[in-house]
Every structure is written in structure tokens, then in C-alpha cells.
């Protein structure tokens, strides 16, 4: 694609990176076939190619974002399926992130939209605040039939019960059982610690049982992805910098083989820290070091090569594996989760159209509830055709999105592997 930026514009590192991305695009349109919003809506401007054109015009003109640009960028899930499909290697992730930053800086949203985004950015990345918000949602849930749109979506997504905080999520070190084979830091996440603390508990039991020392680092918090995708780069960079400092303190203190992440949306973000801080003299090298250490829990387990044997209770259980977009497209990790589940003795299958997003996408199922609902129902229909006993995933957002839509218990992959290697049966299966 031909671009027309001035030399003064290209002096901006963000514009320079955007220019390189735009020039890689050859207009082929392969991305339209795998874009969930284009497949659903049939509008060229709701395809990656259409959004690329809109952002190109906006950036070249050095113009504020328009309502049209905002509408179509807001509808993008950032599922990154287009990056898997693209034969030219267009890095759409960095382009749309730049677009969202520009929107945040130049466009004034309607008051209620600004308020909702501010509330989500203030609450979800901070477990205590998020817990308080969910407690309020629990009280309002019986009256959700009175609400529509985004408010109804938030109440529908809220859990029906809210357990106490897990002791696993406090800063501490979990010793390996037997001979120590590795030492890792665990990103325990923000929303996940509130709505699904059993995921981190299973992860710690599984890794320590396999001989890995697990560290929950002091000072670590949200990965920054939620606000990053809202274009709030100052907040996302502050959250990322806190994690970088926390993990490198542990790496310098006792060494780290990896930073293990069991929420794939977070994993995609942490692996991108190097790019986020590429122009930051104080953090560029440190961020690149952290990104190099980051691994999805399935990646780390496969590299560890544990002796996971098939266990009796798995023999008659059919597991449908839902591959989160952030894992299969954002991180290009596809085989390890299925291989681990199969090694444990489960019969593993995948649904048709596995490349299409379920509609979760961070806060997308709140901000775009109608589109998210259509994608959820399409995904659930394809899952139903596999007749699963269990639906397994690697991302808490997908689990929350699909839990009420499929006729099977929804669990994290590590919960099944923990069970298979001597841990408790996942509570969703009881």
C-alpha cells in the first residue's frame, strides 16, 4: 500500500511504525474471510482491510478521529485472526492499537460512553475494586430484566456467587515438590483472581507437583491489556512497568526460567511489552527481557516435557477445546493445549470455525453486546455439534462468555491437567 506521510510525521515513532505496517498491506482481502465482524455484518469497513483504509486516511491527514472511524474501530475485537490469515505479515495488532490511542486523544465520546469506559478502567484491573463492583452487580442481578444494552450485558456476565479471595494470589513462593526442575513467576491476573480463583490454584498445584517453584511477585498487578485496548496508554504503560520491575526483581534475586501466564489475553500483552517500550530509554531493554521470558502455561508445560500419563477417569470424557483468539492468533500457540489434554487421556476435539472469536474480547461483550451475543451464539452452536462432556479453554474471558451458552461445564485446561495428575476434580464438573 502506498503511503504519503511527511518527513516530519515519520519522525514520530508511532507514525513510523504505522507507515511500515501500512506499506506491507497489498489489498488482497484474505483477511475479510476470517474477520468475525465482516463475516457477521458484511460491511467492508468492518473488515481489517476497511479499517486499515480508515486509519491510513486519518493518520496521513493528521486529523482527529471521526465518528465513522470510531464506530468501525470500536467494532474490532482485536482477535487478530487477520494476522494469522495475512500472507504479507501486516501487523494489524500494532496498527489498531495506535488507532485506539489516537481516538482516545482526539475524539470526545458521548458522556455515558466515557463514564462506562472510565468505570471499567477504574475497577476491573484492580481486584478489590472489581470485587466491590461485582458485589453490587449480585444485588442488582435479580432485576436485570429491567435493563437493556450494556447494563444488561454487565449483569448477565456477573458471577452468580462471589467467593473469598484465594490465599494463592498473595505475594509468596510455592516450593517445588521433589527435585526442583524450574523456577517461574506466575501472572495471577486481576479479574481472574476474583471470578475464577481456582485457575491460579490449579496452576500452582500442577506446576509444583511437576517440580517447578512458583513465585507470585510482590508489586505485580494487571498486565495492562484492558486499558491498552481502550487507548489509555499512560495507564497501560504504568501497569506494565510495575510488572516489569516486579518480575525482574525476582529474576535477579533467584533466577526465572519463565513468566507463566494462564490467561491468554494477558499473555499476548506481556509478550508485546518489548514493542510497547521500544522508545523508552529506561525500560526498553527490561521490557524486551520480560517479553522473552513470557510463556503461556501450555507452552511452558510442553517445554518442561512432564510425564503426564492417561488417567482412568479421562477415558470416557469428551473434551472440546476452545482456542482463545489471543492464544491461537495473538501468540500463535495451537498444538500444546490439545497435546497435553490428549496425553492425560481425554478425547479431544475442536469445533468448526474454531478461528472465529466467541465475542468476549476483553470488555467487548460489554461495549458491543449485540455483536458479542451473535458471535457467542454462533460459537456455542458449533461447540454443540461436537457433543462435549467438557468445554476446555485457556482464557477466563472466553470461559465467562461461553459458560451460560453451552450445555457442558466450562473449565480451564490447567484444571483438567491438575485433576489428571492428582489434584481435585474441577468444581464445575461436580
CA distance 205 to 342: 20
pLDDT at 279: 95
pLDDT at 138: 86
CATH fold for domain 307-429: Rossmann fold (3.40.50)
Q: What's the gap between Cα 365 and its chain centre?
A: 13
User: Furthest-apart CA pair in the chain: how many Å?
Assistant: 66
CA distance 279 to 273: 11
Q: Which H helix or E strand runs over 295?
A: strand 294-296
Q: Is 393 helix (H, G, I), strand (E, B) or coil?
A: strand
pLDDT at 54: 97
- Say yes or no: do domains 7-106 and 307-429 share a fold: no
Nearest to 120 by CA among 220, 244, 235: 235
C-alpha cell at 118: 472510565
424: left (phi over 0), alpha (psi -120 to 50) or beta: beta
Q: With both helix axes pointing from N to C terminus, report the angle between 48-60 and 67-74 in degrees, rounded to the nearest 10.
A: 140
What superfamily would CATH give domain 7-106? Alpha-helical ferredoxin (1.10.1060.10)
SS (H, E, C) 219-248: CCCCCCHHHHCCCCHHHHHHHHHHHHHHHH
Q: Where are the domains of the chain?
A: 7-106, 111-157, 167-302, 307-429
pLDDT at 79: 97
pLDDT at 314: 87
For the entire predicted model, the pTM comes to: 0.94
294: β partners: 259
Q: Is 185 helix (H, G, I), strand (E, B) or coil?
A: strand
391: β partners: 320, 410
Strand order in the sheet with 212-216: 172-174, 212-216, 182-187, 258-261, 294-296
Classify each residue of 363-373 as buried b or exposed e, where b means 16 or more C-beta atoms within 10 Å of its C-beta. bbbbbbbebbb
Would you give per-residue pLDDT tens digits along the chain (430 residues)? 999 999 999 999 999 999 999 999 999 999 999 999 999 999 999 999 999 999 999 999 999 999 999 999 999 999 999 999 999 999 999 999 999 999 999 999 999 999 999 999 999 999 999 999 999 988 888 888 888 889 889 888 888 888 899 999 999 999 999 999 999 999 998 999 999 999 999 999 999 999 999 999 999 999 999 999 999 999 999 999 999 999 999 999 999 999 999 999 999 999 999 999 999 999 999 999 999 999 999 999 999 988 888 888 888 899 999 999 999 999 999 999 999 999 999 999 999 999 999 999 999 999 999 999 999 999 999 999 999 999 999 999 999 999 989 999 999 999 999 999 999 999 999 8
pLDDT at 381: 97
C-alpha cell at 131: 470485587
Amino acid at each position: 500500500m502506498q503511503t504519503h506521510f511527511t518527513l516530519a510525521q515519520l519522525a514520530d515513532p508511532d507514525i513510523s511504525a504505522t507507515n511500515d505496517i501500512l506499506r506491507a498491506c497489498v489489498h488482497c482481502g484474505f483477511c475479510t474471510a476470517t474477520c468475525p465482524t465482516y463475516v457477521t455484518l458484511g460491511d467492508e469497513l468492518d473488515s481489517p482491510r476497511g479499517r486499515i483504509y480508515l486509519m491510513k486516511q486519518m493518520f496521513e491527514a493528521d486529523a482527529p478521529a471521526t465518528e465513522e472511524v470510531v464506530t468501525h474501530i470500536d467494532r474490532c475485537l482485536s482477535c487478530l485472526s487477520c494476522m494469522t490469515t495475512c500472507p504479507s505479515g501486516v501487523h494489524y495488532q500494532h496498527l489498531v492499537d495506535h488507532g485506539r490511542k489516537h481516538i482516545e486523544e482526539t475524539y470526545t465520546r458521548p458522556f455515558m460512553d466515557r463514564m462506562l469506559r472510565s468505570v471499567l478502567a477504574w475497577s476491573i484491573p484492580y481486584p478489590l475494586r472489581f470485587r466491590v463492583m461485582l458485589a453490587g452487580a449480585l444485588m442488582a442481578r435479580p432485576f436485570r430484566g429491567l435493563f437493556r444494552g450494556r447494563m444488561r450485558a454487565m449483569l448477565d456476565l456477573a458471577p452468580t456467587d462471589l467467593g473469598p479471595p484465594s490465599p494463592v494470589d498473595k505475594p509468596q513462593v510455592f516450593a517445588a515438590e521433589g527435585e526442583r526442575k524450574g523456577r517461574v513467576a506466575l501472572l495471577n491476573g486481576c479479574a481472574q483472581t476474583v471470578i475464577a480463583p481456582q485457575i491460579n490454584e490449579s496452576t500452582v498445584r500442577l506446576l509444583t507437583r511437576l517440580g517447578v517453584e512458583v513465585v507470585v511477585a510482590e508489586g505485580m498487578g494487571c498486565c495492562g491489556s484492558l486499558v491498552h485496548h481502550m487507548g489509555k496508554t499512560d495507564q497501560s504503560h504504568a501497569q506494565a512497568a510495575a510488572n516489569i520491575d516486579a518480575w525482574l526483581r525476582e529474576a535477579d534475586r533467584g533466577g526465572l526460567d519463565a513468566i507463566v501466564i494462564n490467561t491468554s489475553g494477558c499473555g499476548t500483552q506481556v509478550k508485546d511489552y518489548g514493542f510497547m517500550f521500544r522508545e523508552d530509554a529506561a525500560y526498553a531493554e527490561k521490557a524486551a527481557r520480560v517479553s522473552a521470558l513470557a510463556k503461556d502455561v501450555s507452552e511452558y508445560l510442553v517445554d518442561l516435557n512432564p510425564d503426564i500419563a492417561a488417567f482412568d477417569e479421562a477415558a470416557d470424557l469428551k473434551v472440546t477445546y476452545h482456542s482463545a483468539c489471543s492464544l491461537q492468533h495473538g501468540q500463535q500457540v495451537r498444538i500444546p493445549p490439545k497435546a497435553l489434554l490428549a496425553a492425560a487421556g481425554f478425547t479431544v476435539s475442536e469445533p468448526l470455525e474454531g478461528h472465529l472469536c466467541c465475542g468476549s474480547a476483553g470488555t467487548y461483550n460489554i461495549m458491543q453486546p449485540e455483536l458479542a451475543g451473535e458471535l457467542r451464539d454462533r460459537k456455542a452452536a458449533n461447540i454443540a455439534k461436537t457433543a462435549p462432556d467438557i468445554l476446555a479453554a485457556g482464557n477466563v474471558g472466553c470461559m465467562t462468555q461461553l459458560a451460560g451458552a453451552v450445555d457442558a461445564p466450562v473449565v480451564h485446561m490447567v484444571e483438567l491437567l491438575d485433576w489428571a495428575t492428582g489434584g481435585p476434580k474441577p468444581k464445575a464438573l461436580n
